[in-house]
Structure 1
Amino acid sequence: MKGDSGSTWAPPPRPEVRSLALHKIIAEKLRADPSLLRQAISTLNRWKSADGTESADRLEWRELLQGPVDGILAILVDPGPRGIRLRNASPFTGVLTNEERMRIIKAWRAGELTALIRD
């Protein structure tokens, strides 16, 4: 289908692609600095204090954060249903700088994320 400009129209990338790209950068940072796990645990604790309860996804994150870093890294970049579900409840908020986030968001809006999420 052609748009008014004559270029081929393509649907925007799915939100899961943006989330995967963001979490791929988080995984790289976590691999370089495993102490970032403390920040994720602190986030879960803050959410529990604010809500007074924990969802199944948050409980699953809490269990993952007690395990090996490799397991956490795998979930952060898992393109499957479990990875998508857990990224939607990710406790790694605040790990990325604003510049890192904006780079991904701009690439997502421009439809240029394919290269960023490839292994």
Structure 2
Amino acid sequence: MIVTNESQVGAAIRHQRLARGLDQRDLAELAGVSTSALRRLEAGQGSTLRTTLAVLRVLDTPVTLPGVESEPPHGRRRVSGKTHVRPTLERREEKVSLEMHRAVARRLRADGPGVRARAKANLETVSRTVHGPQAQEWVREWSDALAGPTGELVDLLVRQDEHGIDMRQVSPFAGVLTEDERAAAIRKARRW
């Protein structure tokens, strides 16, 4: 996204939010900001840099500022002088997994201790069933995230890069969502 003013940022964020089937409350919860702050941001009525960056991180939306040249971060490539995100959520299963983990992130905000307890109990089983040093490292990363701040755990749950996809392959959040929440996540993923 190339921006020249605050209203362009807000319009682009609103477009990305709607394209992903999120309402303002969902996006605000995932980003760890208030709904009113997100409303102001989308309307171009003033926002803090923290709010803007938190929302852009959840949406995995890069920002290009005119006149500012930078090296593309991991997972991005340069095309015709602009930085583009390489699409990583290509398979239906990856999209469904992301939507389910977004729902887990919402549950985490509503019932943090319960979700964390369930995930910690599941992590023991996951640890025994995965093979290879890389998968064991992902299990350790989940364990560290479950012991850390909620914002960092939410970030890990909804990452859209290859690492996020890999982490969701060894997710310890089985049984956290109700059948209705799972069905809603699958419906959202189909709209992508």
**TM-score normalised to the size of structure 2?**
0.46
SS at match of 1:23: helix
Q: Give RMSD over aligned pairs.
A: 2.3
Preserved CA contact (<8 Å) 2:101 2:157? yes
- Report what 1:42 is aligned to: 121
Distance 1:100 1:59, change over 3 A: same
Partner of 1:78: 159
State the identity as a percent.
32
Contact preservation (8 Å) 2:156, 2:164: yes
Structure 2, unaligned runs of 5 or more? 1-89
Say if 2:126 and 2:170, in contact at 8 Å, map to a contact too: no
Q: Distance in 2 between matches of 1:47 and 1:76?
A: 16
- In structure 2, the partner of 1:28 is 106
Counterpart code for 1:76 = L
2:176 aligns with 95
Aligned to 1:117: none
1:17 counterpart = 2:98: no
For normalisation by structure 1, the TM-score amounts to 0.71
The count of residues paired between Structure 1 and Structure 2 equals 99
Q: Structure 1: which 5+ runs fail to align?
A: 1-11, 115-119
Structure with greater Cα Rg:
2
Higher RCO by CA contacts (8 Å cutoff, separation 6 or greater): 1
